Chain A
Amino acid sequence: MSFSSFSDFFAMGNHGLYVWTAYGVSLAVLGLNLALPLVARRRYLQDEARRLRREENK
């Protein structure tokens, strides 16, 4: 462990703002990249389910 306390860890030796901004934004971007295909897949399957129901009712 290269920090002696939690507040030390958050401060990052007065570079805290830079380090946490970089990590925060990157985490958000990775999360977005993961969420987009999941949402797209769900939407596609919902559309297909609707289409299949319509075809059966005809």
Chain B
Amino acid sequence: MNWTWFHKLGSPKWFYEIGGRWLPWFGWAAAILLLVGTVWGLAFAPQDYQQGNSFRIIYIHVPAAFLAQSIYVMLAAAGLVGLVWKMKLADVALQQAAPIGAWMSFIALLTGAVWGKPTWGAWWVWDARLTSMLILLFLYFGIIALGQAISNRDSAAKACAVLAIVGVVNIPIIKYSVEWWNTLHQPATFKITEKPAMPAEMWLPLLVMVLGFYCFFAAVLIMRMRLEVLRREARASWAKAEVRALVEKHA
């Protein structure tokens, strides 16, 4: 197998260039998908026969929760790559994705609370799914704080990578919490092996929103990572030339 692409991926300069080329695609895809999904989910999807219109919160709650967990798995993968292959870009990805993941956990928890009030009669219950999701948010806080507290970049990268890898044990707990414990939270809407438990006019907009959220994450992550690469490589000649060109363009 040819591994050149893997080593190229680790090169900050290569990422900066290819990221710049991908950014508009992810940006526009996110804008269109989120707009279509929101209008579809809010105005055109039929209401739920039990929950009425409050069920429309699903169109942000589920994508945000998906993304919050996927980003955490990505942090762990980036941490592993950083530890094993000493790839510099892996730490950039880890540090820059963590705040986005924290915000997505926040959206999932908040929309869940707002949905819980009319459906369960309570904003919050100490239920397995909700509690494990709250722990995910705290894991994100831990990684962000750890990265900022340690001033030596290599030590910070190692500490964050280890925390990300250890914390990944929480992800299967979140996923199976609705099956292992007695819980108020409804079971998964999407399963890979089965047909969705709702009609197509309800889950299609959800699929559009999930894709939109992933594209949004990709676009924001590329923006954050490109800036961080430019900062960390400030002494490299390509970065100096790029900054000079950008400054002249804006002046």
Contacts and interface: CB of A to CB of B under 8 A. Distances in A.
A18 B117 contact: yes
Given A18-B115, A49-B250, A29 B227 contact: no
Given A2-B47, A19-B53, A40 B115 contact: no
Nearest to B61: A22
Nearest to A15: B54
B250 A13 contact: no
Contacts of A2: 43-47
Please tell me the size bucket of the interface on A.
Answer: 20 to 34
Interface stretch (B104-112, B125-133, B148-156, B182-190): B104-112
A7 interface: no
Interface string B7-47: 00000000000000000000000000010001000111111
A25 to B, nearest CB: 6
Interface of A is mostly: helix
Please tell me the size bucket of the interface on B.
Answer: 35 or more
B247 A22 contact: no
Interface of A: 1-3, 9, 12-16, 18-19, 21-23, 25-26, 29-30, 32-34, 37-38, 40-41, 44-45, 48-49, 52
21 contacts: A2-B44, A2-B46, A9-B42, A18-B114, A18-B115, A19-B42, A19-B56, A19-B57, A22-B111, A22-B115, A23-B42, A23-B57, A25-B107, A25-B114, A30-B216, A32-B103, A37-B223, A41-B223, A45-B243, A45-B247, A52-B243
